[in-house]
């Protein structure tokens, strides 16, 4: 009869996690990496979607990504036996975890954009200023000549002077566009596998009964 003194969740989860393809987590990570690098074929995307349990439509979106992260989280909680060796009156088994960690890998993303070019341009004709100048010129012409002809001449001269005054003014405005390559730094989450020690067990017989004790190495 076997007595378990310490039972961890790893034993309970091992069957379901293995069913969730944790035994092929390295292969799954390689598929995911190719997707993030836009190097995966549609069939590869469908394959990983089937593994993580979402609709295999060949389009990797938020739902697929969330399902993959859930799979990684489950697989990271699983510990599997690796090294087994006998000691006096017992057997020691070491358990390890094949953990997936994500690294933010920087990359440069560039795009061609049109950048505005600013410069000084001559002021255009301001109808209000021209009309105002014509009115003032007309009044002055009337006063000087006291005739309608003088008024008209003054209006023409006043309007022309006001127009030239507006043209002499400059303003800053967009005078054209130039093509520029704009680059920014973005990040991709790349999975990486790492093996870490989890715990150990010692199995031994005492008084006709088998015991399993869990412990951690220092």
Domain-by-domain residue ranges, the chain? 2-109+189-215, 124-168
Q: Is the dihedral of CA 152, 154, 156, 159 positive or negative?
A: negative
What one-character-per-residue DSSP string does 112-137 give? EEEEEEEEEEE----HHHHHHHHHHH
Report the distance separating Cα 83 and Cα 95, nearest Å: 7
Given a contact cutoff of 8 angstroms between Cβ atoms, the answer to whether 143 and 153 are in contact is: no
- pLDDT by 10s per residue, the chain, length 218: 344 444 333 344 444 444 457 888 889 999 999 998 889 999 999 999 999 999 999 999 999 999 999 999 999 988 889 889 998 889 999 999 988 988 888 988 899 988 888 887 776 555 555 455 545 444 554 444 555 555 555 556 655 555 566 556 677 888 888 888 989 998 888 888 899 999 999 999 988 899 999 999 87
The answer to whether 151 and 140 are in contact (CB under 8 A) is: no
């Amino acid at each position: 009869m076997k007595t378990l003194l310490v039972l961890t969740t790893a034993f309970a989860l091992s069957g379901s996690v293995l069913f969730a393809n944790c035994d092929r987590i390295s292969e799954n990570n390689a598929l995911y990496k190719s997707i993030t690098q836009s190097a995966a074929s549609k069939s590869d995307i469908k394959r990983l979607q089937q593994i993580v349990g979402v609709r295999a439509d060949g389009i990797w979106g938020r739902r697929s990504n969330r399902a993959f992260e859930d799979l990684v989280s489950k697989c990271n909680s699983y510990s599997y036996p690796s090294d087994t060796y006998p000691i006096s009156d017992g057997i020691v088994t070491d358990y390890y975890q094949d953990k997936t960690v994500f690294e933010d890998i920087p990359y440069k993303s560039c795009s061609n954009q049109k950048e505005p070019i600013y410069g000084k341009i001559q002021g255009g004709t301001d109808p209000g200023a021209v009309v105002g100048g014509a009115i003032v010129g007309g009044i002055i012409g009337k006063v000087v000549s006291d005739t309608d002809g003088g008024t008209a001449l003054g209006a023409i001269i006043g309007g022309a002077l006001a127009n030239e005054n507006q043209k002499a003014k400059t303003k800053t405005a967009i005078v054209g566009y130039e093509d520029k390559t704009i680059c920014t730094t973005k990040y991709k989450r790349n999975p990486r596998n790492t093996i870490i020690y989890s715990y150990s067990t010692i199995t031994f017989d005492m008084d006709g009964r088998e015991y399993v004790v869990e412990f951690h190495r220092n």
